[in-house]
Amino acid sequence: MKNPSSLCHAAALGLLLCAATAQAHDAWIEPSSAGFTVVFGHDGKLETALASKVLKAQAVDAAGQALPLRLEGLKVALDGRPSQLLLHYDNGFWSRTPQGSRSGPKNEVPGALGASHALKYGKTLLAWDAQATRPQGLPVEIVPQATQAPAAGSRLPVQVLWDGQPLAGAVLSWHEGAQEKDTQADAQGRASVPVVQGRQMVSASARRPLPNDPRADTLSVSSALVFEAR
């Protein structure tokens, strides 16, 4: 994963926030008629997801209870009626070299100028119920603030959290057709995003330094919120 080209700025708790650009990747659980699958991609295009990078998948019902879930490679098999699907995905270490980005920690990549450790989180809303506005415990999470399912053409208020605390100044991005848009959250991590008809993804990205890690200089995190609007 290449470093975002947008300028980062200092924020609370020593975090560095960056716009989720076309270079930022996301991972989430995608529903389909064939079931649920872990997917990975960016800029509206899917790439190859690896089962070995899936740290954890979870399913929550309308009452907030965890549902039994089994990972079969990239396939997610579960019992019950899920309200939300949650994903933790470790995309590994990526080093920056004069020749470009290379997979691997900086202490193992010859000539590395720096490196990041990329973690991805995803939340897929399957129903707009009481759980939609409740944090589900992802390390970085976009939490909708609307109790009713948003209609196409409206705006959805959200709050971005890091370890359960508001992520001040967070930058959220989404696509409108082929064009990427972004907005910045306020001091409480709150912002609103436009709602389009059909499937929609909103992504938040954050970075913080790793001063004592020989493998990487920064922790690079992205968190996706996926839902359908009518």
HEC string for the chain:
CCCCCCCCEECHHHCEECCCCCCCCEEEEEEECCEEEEEEEECCEEECCCHHHEEEEEEECCCCCECCEEEECCEEEECCCCCEEEEEEEEEEEEEECCEEEECCCCCCCCCCEEEEEEEEEEEECCCCHHHHCCCCCCEEEEECCCCCCCCCCEEEEEEEECCEECCCCEEEEEECCEEEEEECCCCCEEEEECCCEEEEEEEEEEEECCCCCCCCEEEEEEEEEEEEC
- Lowest pLDDT segment from 12-21, 172-181, 217-226: 12-21
Instruction: For residues 189 and 177, give the distance between their C-alpha atoms in angstroms, rounded to a whole number.
Output: 26
- The pLDDT tens digits of the residues spanning 126-161 come to 999 999 999 999 999 999 999 999 999 999 999 999
Tokens standing for residue 23: 């270079």
Distance CA 153, CA 155 (A): 7
Residue 15: CB atoms within 10 A of its CB come to: 21
Region at 145 (left for phi over 0; alpha for psi -120 to 50; beta for the rest): alpha
In a domain, 176, yes or no: yes
Whether residue 150 lies inside any domain: the answer is yes
Q: What's the pLDDT at 42?
A: 78
Specify if 9 maps to a domain: no
Residue 126 pLDDT: 96
pLDDT of residue 43: 65
For residue 196, what are the domain limits? 26-229
Residue 16 in any domain: the answer is no
Using CB atoms within 10 A of its CB, is residue 196 exposed (0-12), middle (13-18) or buried (19+)?
middle
Q: Tell me, yes or no, whether 139 lies in a domain.
A: yes
Asked whether residue 1 is assigned to any structural domain, the reply reads no
Share of residues in the chain with pLDDT > 90 (%): 78
Is 6 among the domain residues?
no
Per DSSP bridges, beta strands 218-229 and 114-125 are parallel
Contacts of 99 (CB under 8 A, 6+ apart): none
> Distance between alpha carbon 188 and the CA centroid of its chain, in Å?
19
How many domains does the structure of the chain reveal? 1
Identity (one letter) of the amino acid at 29?
A: I
Classify residue 18: in a domain, yes or no: no
Quick one: pLDDT at residue 222?
94
